[in-house]
């Protein structure tokens, strides 16, 4: 089974994000980390590959020169990576990301494409469905439990009121939640081995995209203004001396909840 | 057709986001709704009362709806050329928006907190609600917009029953080959999380699923809905339907009590607009204290039992 896992490298969420004053894009440092939500997609991919004599190839679009996040995912056990890294991709909208990833995945061939539900920094949550539409395959989203084999994939899909059991023939796209599996931590051997694993680096042009098709020009949207939002101020902070519940009750009375 | 609103059936009603978006769209122009689900005269009347003049209704049966719904909407907009197609943040909403985006070759303007048309501009909060951006659609109409829950108020203005047009699910070949085998509802007691006046939410700080009863007991005393952080949903303590935050529900209650929740950005996006926030956490540096009106630095295992007991003693 050929499994493609989409991963994104993002600025470390532990440090505050910056927006470029002129372009309004997130400033992307040289060293970016693997988006935490992608660890779940990688883990699902590895488990399915182990059960089905499969291979796991990572696909990532990253106009930053960073390899750190890719190496993190390779260290978990993925076989190889395809990285599309090209300055013309800066400012690309989600649909451009999907087109580029779909083109790279199609070139390699696939039975199953796995992604996280949404990225931590962009969080529009539409890329997996866009990839599925471009590749003309079903997309099973919000998957919290996944089984695959015998040419099909079956998932539990989260719904507003519970969950549905959904089945699809392969090939298909899967978007997994962060509750789907417990991601493994890379071993020392895995981290050392990741440095030897192949990373194919492509440009948008290698996949047949012109510079007008991608980046800001292909986005179809324009950020016209950026402003900070006045943040909510912290109120009263008290240490619990054994009587803090009385202060809570007083506030509940003030707000007329009780 | 001026604006098309996506609606998915939920418990025999139009989705909450569809009613909110229909009300907003009605203030901007003529509104048509694309409704996915079994459908009923009552559901369509509800949409009409909120301002929809027509409802296009597609019943996907046991098929996963996103692929055929996107194809049907693409056909519809090719004829009627609306200025915008509006989606909520429900799971099917986002699925259809993504597929439609790729089908039409148009971007999705996501996380809209406000909207204007001619040209279509959306205001959205990014980076955990710390920055606000205004994005203008520059591609040909329709603009595809995903709006935040509760960004707009649903208003029953007593509009008449809309014209309903049955839409057959188009054959989309391989893309449409996923089927729903079983549907499971996870029942829980108490008021509806999205609409409750008081919400009590629990997080990792409770230590384990064995202690979850503290959250439920406090909620019962306050006639509150129970919510949860993503961490405890992912850990399997409670179902996803209780999750508050970016990928769960957005709540705006009078009072929000966060017990053992540190306050990850993705959680705070879903509850920061509560009128009063009370947080209990043993870590004095927990980000939740930065937005709490009352922050108690203490152990939830000590504070909650006393609070529950004191509330019981009052009645």
- Asked if A137 and B174 come within 8 Å (Cβ–Cβ), the reply is yes
What percent of chain B is modeled with pLDDT above 90? 81
Q: How far apart are CA A196 and CA A188, in angstroms?
A: 14
Picking from B90, B125, B298, the nearest residue to A239 by CB comes out as: B298
Residue A167: its chain B contacts at CB < 8 A?
A: 178-179, 181
How confident is the model over B261-279, as a mean pLDDT? Answer: 92
- Asked if B136 and A178 come within 8 Å (Cβ–Cβ), the reply is no
- Asked if A139 and B233 come within 8 Å (Cβ–Cβ), the reply is no
- Asked if B106 and A225 come within 8 Å (Cβ–Cβ), the reply is no
CA A121, A126, A132, A138 torsion-angle sign: positive
Selected residue of A6, A26, A125 to mutate for chain B interface (largest B Cβ count, 10 A): A125
Contact B135, B145 (CB under 8 A): no
pLDDT, tens digit, for every residue of B157-201?
999 999 999 999 999 999 999 999 999 987 777 888 988 999 999
Picking from B247, B255, B310, the nearest residue to A117 by CB comes out as: B247
- Alpha-helical segments (H) within chain B: 16-26, 41-49, 66-80, 91-104, 213-221, 230-234, 265-268, 300-314
Picking from B137, B177, B255, the nearest residue to A221 by CB comes out as: B137
CA distance to partner chain A, nearest, from residue B238 (Å) = 11
CA distance to partner chain B, nearest, from residue A19 (Å) = 9
How confident is the model over B40-62, as a mean pLDDT? Answer: 97
How confident is the model over B45-65, as a mean pLDDT? Answer: 97
What is the secondary structure of B220-257 as a DSSP string?
HHTTPEEEE-HHHHHTTSS-GGGBBSTTSB----SEEE
pLDDT grade for B78, boundaries at 50, 70 and 90: very high
CA distance to partner chain B, nearest, from residue A14 (Å) = 11
DSSP strand pairing (A221-228 vs B131-137): antiparallel
Q: Which tokens is B109 given?
A: 């303007």
pLDDT for A123 equals: 77
Residue B135: its chain A contacts at CB < 8 A?
A: 221-224
- Asked if B307 and A127 come within 8 Å (Cβ–Cβ), the reply is no
pLDDT grade for B240, boundaries at 50, 70 and 90: confident
Residue B91 Cα distances to A36, A125, B129, angstroms:
21, 9, 21
pLDDT for B16 equals: 92
Q: Is the pLDDT of residue B150 over 60?
A: yes
Q: Which tokens is B83 given?
A: 């200025």
Q: Residue A247's closest chain B neighbor by CA?
A: B294
How confident is the model over B24-42, as a mean pLDDT? Answer: 96
pLDDT for A119 equals: 86
pLDDT averages per 10-residue partition of chain A, 258 residues: 96 76 78 90 97 97 88 97 92 92 97 92 89 98 94 93 94 91 92 95 94 83 83 89 96 94
Q: What is the mean pLDDT of chain B?
A: 93
Picking from A142, A166, A234, the nearest residue to B180 by CB comes out as: A166
Q: Is the pLDDT of residue B34 over 60?
A: yes
- Whole-prediction pTM value? 0.89
Task: From B149, B163, B167, B143, select the one nearest B52 (Cα to Cα).
Answer: B163
Residue B125: its chain A contacts at CB < 8 A?
A: 229
Picking from B94, B130, B240, the nearest residue to A158 by CB comes out as: B240
pLDDT for B1 equals: 54
Q: Give the least confident one: B49-53, B77-81, B259-263.
A: B77-81
What percent of chain B is modeled with pLDDT above 70? 99
Picking from B108, B272, B278, the nearest residue to A248 by CB comes out as: B278
ipTM of the complex: 0.91
- 3-state DSSP assignment of residue A251: helix
- Asked if A244 and B185 come within 8 Å (Cβ–Cβ), the reply is no
């Amino acid at each position: 089974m050929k499994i493609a896992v989409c991963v994104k490298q993002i600025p470390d969420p532990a440090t505050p994000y910056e927006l470029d004053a002129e372009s309004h894009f997130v400033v992307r440092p040289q060293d970016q980390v693997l988006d935490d939500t992608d660890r779940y997609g990688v883990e699902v991919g590895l488990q399915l590959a182990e059960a089905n004599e499969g291979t796991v190839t990572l696909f990532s679009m990253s106009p930053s020169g960073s390899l750190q996040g890719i190496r993190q995912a390779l260290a978990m056990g993925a076989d190889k990576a395809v990285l599309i890294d090209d300055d013309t991709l800066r400012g690309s909208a989600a649909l451009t990301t999907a087109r580029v990833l779909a083109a790279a995945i199609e070139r390699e061939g696939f039975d199953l494409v796995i992604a996280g539900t949404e990225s931590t920094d962009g969080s529009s949550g539409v890329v997996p469905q866009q990839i599925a539409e471009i590749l003309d395959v079903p997309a099973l989203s919000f998957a919290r439990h996944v089984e695959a084999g015998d040419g099909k994939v079956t998932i539990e899909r989260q719904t507003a009121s519970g969950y549905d059991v959904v089945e699809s023939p392969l090939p298909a796209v899967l978007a997994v939640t962060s509750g789907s599996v417990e991601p493994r931590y890379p071993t020392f051997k895995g981290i050392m081995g990741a440095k030897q694993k192949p990373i194919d680096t492509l440009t948008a042009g290698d996949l047949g995209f012109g510079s007008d098709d991608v980046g800001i020009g292909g986005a179809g949207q324009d950020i016209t203004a950026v402003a900070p939002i006045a943040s909510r101020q912290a109120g009263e902070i008290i240490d619990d001396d054994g009587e803090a519940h009385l202060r809570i009750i007083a506030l509940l009375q003030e707000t007329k909840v009780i | 057709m001026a604006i098309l609103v996506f609606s998915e059936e939920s418990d025999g009603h139009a989705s909450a986001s569809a009613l909110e978006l229909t009300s907003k769209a009605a203030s901007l122009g003529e509104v048509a709704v694309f409704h996915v689900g079994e459908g009923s005269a009552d559901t369509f009347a509800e949409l009409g009362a909120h301002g929809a003049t027509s409802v296009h209704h597609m019943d996907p049966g046991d098929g996963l709806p996103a692929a055929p719904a996107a194809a049907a909407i693409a056909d519809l907009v090719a004829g009627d050329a609306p200025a915008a197609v509006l989606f909520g943040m429900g799971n099917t909403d986002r699925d259809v928006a993504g597929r439609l985006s790729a089908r039409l070759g148009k971007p999705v303007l996501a996380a809209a907190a406000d909207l204007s048309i001619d040209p279509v501009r959306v205001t959205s909060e990014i980076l955990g609600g710390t920055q606000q951006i205004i994005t203008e659609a520059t591609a040909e109409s329709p603009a595809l917009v995903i709006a935040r829950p509760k960004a707009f108020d649903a208003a029953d203005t007593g509009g008449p029953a809309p014209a309903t047009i049955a839409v057959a699910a188009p054959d989309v070949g391989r893309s449409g080959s996923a089927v729903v085998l079983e549907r499971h509802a996870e029942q829980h007691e108490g008021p509806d999380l999205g609409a409750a006046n008081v919400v009590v939410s629990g997080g990792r700080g409770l230590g384990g699923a064995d202690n979850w009863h503290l959250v439920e007991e406090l909620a019962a005393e306050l006639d509150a809905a129970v919510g949860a952080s993503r961490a405890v949903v992912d850990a399997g303590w409670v179902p996803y339907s209780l999750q508050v935050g970016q990928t769960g529900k957005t709540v705006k209650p009078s009072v929000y009590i966060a017990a053992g929740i540190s306050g990850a950005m993705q959680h705070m996006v879903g509850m920061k607009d509560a009128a009063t926030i009370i947080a209990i956490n043993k870590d004095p540096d927990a980000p939740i204290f930065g937005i709490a009106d009352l922050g108690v630095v203490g152990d939830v295992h000590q504070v909650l039992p006393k609070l529950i007991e004191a509330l019981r003693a009052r009645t």
